[in-house]
Structure 1
Amino acid sequence: MVDLIPDKPKKGRGAVSNASGRYEPFTRVAVDDGWGRDPGSSGFGEAGFGEDPPPRPTEVIWDATRTIITRNTSPDIPFDRSINPYRGCEHGCIYCFARPSHAWLGYSPGLDFETKLLAKPEAAELLRRELARKNYRPRPMALGTNTDPYQPIEKKLQITRRILEVLRDTGHPLTIVTKSNLILRDLDILAPMARKRQVRVMISLTTLDRKLSRVMEPRAPTPAQRLEALRTLNAAGVPAGVLTAPMIPAINDQELEALLEAAARAGAAAAGYVLLRLPLEIKELFEEWLEAHFPDRKSKVLNLIRDTRGGRLNQSEFGLRQSGSGVYAELLGQRFKRAEQRLGLNRGSAPLDSSQFTPPKLESEADKKQLSLL
């Protein structure tokens, strides 16, 4: 008989476990067969071998996608097209609603989501071809809708930057959501676009507590760095707001007003919030995370979530997914509205300008042939 090795938090990672995705025919479990134990040991350490396992490395895999623009018709989302330069995200946010998408690729929504990253090196060229189609009609393009376009590997790969260059050169408007101050690297592109009303940024900020941030989103920049990015963007003329998402009952929701106040001081004129969502595998991953980091309040957090989700841990109905329902959710919404009014947030801004769009010119006959296949 073998002993199962218990899942425990991994330094620098958000998920506690790496359970198989929902499409996999087999379930993987870690076991201790006794070979690695110290002689005379009556038990095992974190890995069952008397010592901690080595850090789980980040692996980057090339994604050979043939298209780059994703379309959606959801009434809960204020855009109809988006680009995601990467699949998976090294920031490791335990609550990330994109985690279940990793199961489509045969990976785990747990640690695999943070460590097996798929990058799209041909994204900029694919975008050029799709924008050159005769029937293409421009509307704001959203970056950062599934995973962060400025996660750590972007510093080296620069896929997001090349996408921005295509959008700048064609006069195509865009919106960006990110947790990273790496966005400041691209001010040379974003500031001129902002002067033409072609870009808007939202910085995701979940807490002002550095320690809590490291637990919730272990490889994202600190709250102070994000606020500085917000301040620098606005000072450079790039309209940048704050997205307090997600608000987690009894974990960070008490900070809502403080987050909005800090963002307003940094120049934010726009703000939004989203109540925690736990679709598919995220429910189990989040419960494991609570048990590992907040065992004293696990039951309270889960009960409050159920109060906002009709007695369940998730609510998928349009109109309720982002804000929830019930007394607790309504109170959170009222708190946001009062702070919004007090701080002068969301008083309206000019829409992004799509009229300056000029389709890219394909450079060769080979490009034209490729375009004809799309």
Structure 2
Amino acid sequence: MSTEQQRIDDAVAAAAAATTDAMNDSERYGVLYDHGLAWVNFPEGCGGLGVSTSLREYAAQQVAEAGLRTPPRGSNTIGFGMAAPTIVTYGTAEQKLILRDIYTLDTIFCQLFSEPGAGSDLAAVATRAVRNGDGFRVTGQKVWTSGAQNADMAILVARTDPSVPKHQGLSYFLLDMHAPGVEVRGLRQITGEAEFNEVFLTDVEVPEANLLGELGQGWKVANTTLNNERVAIGGGTPREGGMIGVVAGAWRANPEYRDPLLHDELVRLWVEVEVARMMGERLSQKLAAGQPGPEGSGAKLSFARNNHELTGLELQMTGVDGLRYDTYAMRRPSEYSMIGRIPGYRYLRAKGNSIEGGTSEIIRNIISERVLGLPGEHRVDKDVAFKDLPK
């Protein structure tokens, strides 16, 4: 056993000894955080032990074997996968205090990045953050904001200097979603649900203490978030986890689904998903040495493509039964999951996998330029002040 594994074992034993039956869920999660078992690769004092990222799975196994309850990450997806890694990288000591509330689910996060005119081109955001005394006044509109209806805080990219090229004039903030001037409106999807929202910001006051990173560093900070987001979406799935587990399980459990013509397709997709899983393991090992790089885009692209094909195969397997749908009534889910849903829902919802976390088209551009080293697209606006760009 390595020294790092021993540290994890000691932390698990201490957390188990400190947990009582009288505690509520938030208190139980807080014990895990305080003993460094929230994100074991994070520094001590930030919910971690400072150990290798590759030991996260080992830590999760030890926590489970000790009978300790962990928070459902789907209830705070943005907080766990995007806000926390960004805050621990760029946050002040005071800002890092919110990490505990993220883990205990006392503070739910959403992401205010995309705009009606700046989705795929994030650097083109027009939402303004203007100096106002000891803080900033933020005005603008965001869209495709997952879970904003349930969020307490948001990670926000806004323009603080329109006199410089678009990538240079951005800043990154932590925004209180309950502040005056924040309005959330649901966007109904093809599934009938409204996971996404448009968010209107009208003269929202943001204190100086909520600036994450340096003023004008927003593009750099946002890329840390985006790289972690793509790894969170595309990586970390156990063998036969996610949709391949659903489809393969249905194949085994229902002999009537076993059309010989579909067997080769199922095997092909199983291999594709297994390759993607191993690529995710490699990304985790790279993450142990620093921040994830553009390779996370490949994991996210594979995830979207595989989900499209797997949900389509599931409909082919299930036939007419797979075309039935429960309801298209407007619903506001508290979390997103494709597991435990009907095939028709999964097929429709998978279409969003190629949009969220970066569209597949933009992801391919990132891979071609930053991974393969191919020539970049011609960008006429690269060195032009944002205020001088045609709107």
TM-score for both structures, normalised by structure 2: 0.28
TM-score for both structures, normalised by structure 1: 0.28
Structure with the higher helix share, 1 or 2: 2
